[in-house]
Amino acid sequence: TMGNWLVNHWFSAAVLAAWLGINIFLFTYYFLFFDRDERYFYTRAILGSALAWARASAKCLNFNSMLILLPVCRNLLSFLRGTCSCCRRTLRKQLDHNLTFHKLVAYALALFTAVHTIAHLFNLERYNHSQQATDGSLPAVLSKMHLQGTKWLNPIHSNQTTVEYVAFTTIPGLTGVIITLALILMVTSSTEFIRRNYFEVFWYTHHLFLIYFAGLVIHGIAGLVRGQTEESVEEVHPHRCAQYLTQQDEECWHDCCKEPEFGSIPAESWKWVLAPVLLYIFERILRVWRARQKVVVTKVVMHPARVLELQMYKKGFRMEVGQYIFVNCPAISLLEWHPFTLTSAPEEDFFSIHIRAAGDWTERLIDTFQQKRPEMPRIEVDGPFGTASEDVFQYEVAMLVGAGIGVTPFASILKSIWYKFQQADQTLKTKKIYFYWLCRDTGAFAWFNDLLASLEQKMAESGRADFLTYRLFLTGWDTSIANNVALRFDNATDTLTGLRHKTTFGRPMWNSEFAAVATAHPRSVVGVFLCGPGALAKSLQKSCHQHSSLDPRKVKFYFNKENF
């Protein structure tokens, strides 16, 4: 297990280091290339080092634009997971960090876009200044070359041209403005707050990526930034001939009589993004095909606190614990797909999800299913996706922590463990489970209560009541709840949940929880699994380190944060 943990982190670090390394290499290599190459001697005379800043950041933009679509090709990732099933699970699990990598690449795009844009604003200012200069300097002479036909180096040919005019009338200017705006909208609308509360805003804004890629491919076509052609460098080398450009002699007596000729830097963004774009188009076609396969809603359960449970059947559907699906309801929206964690166990003959009212789409879906209709609304399903959370079955002792709706994957895990336990499954090493659920309001407990109650009953009946110990923590509560609990404290079951284990008010004291587990299992390896916020992950990770014994024969806690 320690080996798995190390491999997991080593592999993550290696991928990150490779990505950072390639970015640094591309930026440094092309910065030095455009800052030193003789073909751009005259271009640098006008632009200075801003040329190198603009071109180096452009290369990194191309590289990251090539990567950005790959982590969101869900079917490609599933295929890779399937083909490398012989690889170690820890390596396959890296594919679940796909969205983290996607965000990282997006931040890099935002950074390089800022560098590229600022560099080009300097370039435009310098082009403009050189065009208007009349001092006979090298930049001024180079800027007047357009008067002799096609030999121009400075794309600004008029003293009346402004930066705004270039930005909105040239292909690079206009596409640059459009793709920058598209990127800003995509990045700002994908913050946690907007994704959680206004998913539709995030979903539709993210489709601006189509405009981003179209703009990116067209962006460099006009070739406004130019350099000296290879042949011209051979004939009239700038180191030898640049000095004569500013000395306009009537008679030519040296070998630099011929004026330098310039050519555009060819557009190459399309070469970088062609393969990923084709792959993504194939991915979308595959999604449409999979979504067309019939899904039968076998049971609809309306739980308290507006939580809808859908039990479904789809031919050939095979799931693992901890996986998720994407759901679409054409009656509400043809385009919107929303992810939901599966709450059924693989051993069951249906698959299920629990949907909480948490936005326009979920509200409308719940309303649609609550209406009495002659026929069920049609549901389309894509998936399942994600790596199975089978690590839980590999530990003798497991501590499962679910915060709020983060309890959903544990519904699947707890059910599956119970089925494996009943069937005396040899792959199940688990002897004891500690389950902690942190929740803000009692209403959200309702649907999960039924599951815990039935598990509690089944375990008691089979004489294994001690297999599962669970603690429910109510983190948000008012006086009326507290009074009610105080009045009925002597009852055998809990006032709020009707379960045998009492609900605790406030947050868990993790130190005492870990200490108790360590005392109860002095020689075990304990797996700690969390589905919840990052702040909780930090405190659990800290507790794992503090309570793990240095003695290899004694208790060890290993932390696993699931990416659901």
CB 245 within 8 A of CB 209: no
Euclidean distance between CA atoms 211 and 189, whole angstroms: 16
Phi-psi region of 528 (alpha: psi -120 to 50; beta: other; left: phi over 0): beta
State how far the alpha carbon of 221 is from the alpha carbons of 170, 218, 225, in Å: 11, 6, 11
User: 54: which 2 tokens?
Assistant: 């603009």
Phi-psi region of 340 (alpha: psi -120 to 50; beta: other; left: phi over 0): beta
- The pLDDT, as a whole number, for residue 374 is 80
- The pLDDT, as a whole number, for residue 66 is 97
Q: How many residues does the chain have?
A: 564
Task: Identify the H or E element spanning 227.
Answer: strand 226-228
For 435, phi then psi, to 5°, come to -120, 130
Euclidean distance between CA atoms 51 and 242, whole angstroms: 19
- The pLDDT, as a whole number, for residue 482 is 52
Neighbours of 159 (CB within 10 A): 9
CB 530 within 8 A of CB 481: no
Task: Identify the H or E element spanning 438.
Answer: strand 432-439
For 259, phi then psi, to 5°, come to -75, 150
Do the domains 398-404+411-446+456-478+494-532+542-561 and 293-385 match in fold? no
Euclidean distance between CA atoms 487 and 497, whole angstroms: 15
Q: Where are the alpha helices (DSSP H) in 146-208?
A: 163-169, 171-188, 192-197, 199-206
- The pLDDT, as a whole number, for residue 492 is 44
Q: Which CATH architecture has domain 398-404+411-446+456-478+494-532+542-561?
A: 3-Layer(aba) Sandwich (3.40)
CATH code reported for the domain at 293-385: 2.40.30.10
CA 499 to chain centre: 38
Q: Where are the domains of the chain?
A: 20-170+222-246+260-287, 293-385, 398-404+411-446+456-478+494-532+542-561
- CA nearest to 177, candidates 191, 187, 166: 166
For 471, phi then psi, to 5°, come to -130, 130
CB 393 within 8 A of CB 421: no
What is the side-by-side strand order in the sheet with 307-314? 295-303, 307-314, 351-356
pLDDT, tens only, 254-296: 778 888 999 999 999 999 999 999 999 999 999 888 888 999 9
pLDDT, averaged per 10 consecutive residues of the chain (564 residues), comes to 60 90 98 96 96 98 97 86 63 77 96 97 94 90 79 86 84 95 96 86 94 96 92 91 78 79 92 96 91 92 88 92 91 90 93 89 92 86 81 86 83 87 78 88 70 82 82 72 49 50 81 93 90 86 89 85 59
